[in-house]
Amino acid sequence: MERDYSKLFRLDGKHAVVVGAGSGIGRESALALAAQGARVTCADRDLAAAEETVSRGEHLTAYRVDVLDEDAIIRAAAELQDVDVLVFTAATNVRKRILDYTGEEFDRVVALNLRASFDLIRAFGGPMAERGSGSIMGFSSIRATTVEPGQSVYAATKAGLVQLLRTAAAELGPSGVRVNAIAPGVVETPLTAQIKANQAWYDAYAQKGALGRWATPDELAGAVVYLASDASSFVTGSVLHVDGGWTAVDGRFDPPN
């Protein structure tokens, strides 16, 4: 049967859950998935923020979940049945050099960036495998491969997330579930507000990539729709960089002609 390419990115009849849908990349991802026909559950610890996302589109429902609570994730997976697509964006960062880091800060970053991801994959991946289909995507970062002083634990969690997702792809693939990572570059979100407040720091980041600027959250939504849709039916265990060329460009010196 020939594929109908006019519907390649459509998600009609699909149920997507976006964790972290109350702001930033999560919000734009939820809106984009809904625009392609999906029924989207906008999950967030901040219910009011999730409801704000819901007010901006159609086929959207708000749902409160704290992903630091494993039992809450298990309940969510049980209540939000027949999930075809899982997207999770929630993350935190403590920018400190290793010698200045505390054990509490280490645990806090790992708990949200890595342990919560582990719990989400298990809770939602199991039912997907039983149904024989599904797409899971987690947000890694350019910091999974390129680092700078002050990014140690964040970078470690984002690199660890890539390997966690790749392993899930290997284990769930035979059951028809695809699992991928999206690795953004610098994006104007609440997580990067500290950098944006420092003009020199902000400009340095903008100049690092090939496009010479930061991304806005909506520029990540296309990657989410792609990985959720049949357009990526043979894509799993991959890392999709949406970084404006950051990881492709050395950026330290522009040689003369």
Per-residue 3-state assignment (H helix, E strand, C coil) for 199-216: HHHHHHHHHHCCCCCCEC
Listed residue (71, 94, 84) closest to 18, CA to CA: 84
Task: Say whether pLDDT at 254 is over 80.
Answer: no
- pLDDT of amino acid 175: 98
Fold of 11-241: Rossmann fold (3.40.50)
Model pLDDT for residues 62-100, shown as the tens digit of each residue = 999 999 999 999 999 999 999 999 999 999 999 999 999
- pLDDT of amino acid 257: 75
Give the DSSP H or E segment for 51.
helix 47-54
Share of the chain above pLDDT 70, in %: 98
| Averaged pLDDT for residues 35-57 | 98
- Give the pLDDT band (50/70/90) at residue 251: low
Share of the chain above pLDDT 90, in %: 88
Domain ranges of the chain: 11-241
| Averaged pLDDT for residues 239-243 | 98
Residues 51 and 118 sit within 8 Å (Cβ to Cβ)? no
Q: Could you confirm whether 154 is annotated as catalytic?
A: yes
Q: Which of 5, 63, 101, 154 is catalytic?
A: 154
Task: Say whether pLDDT at 39 is over 70.
Answer: yes
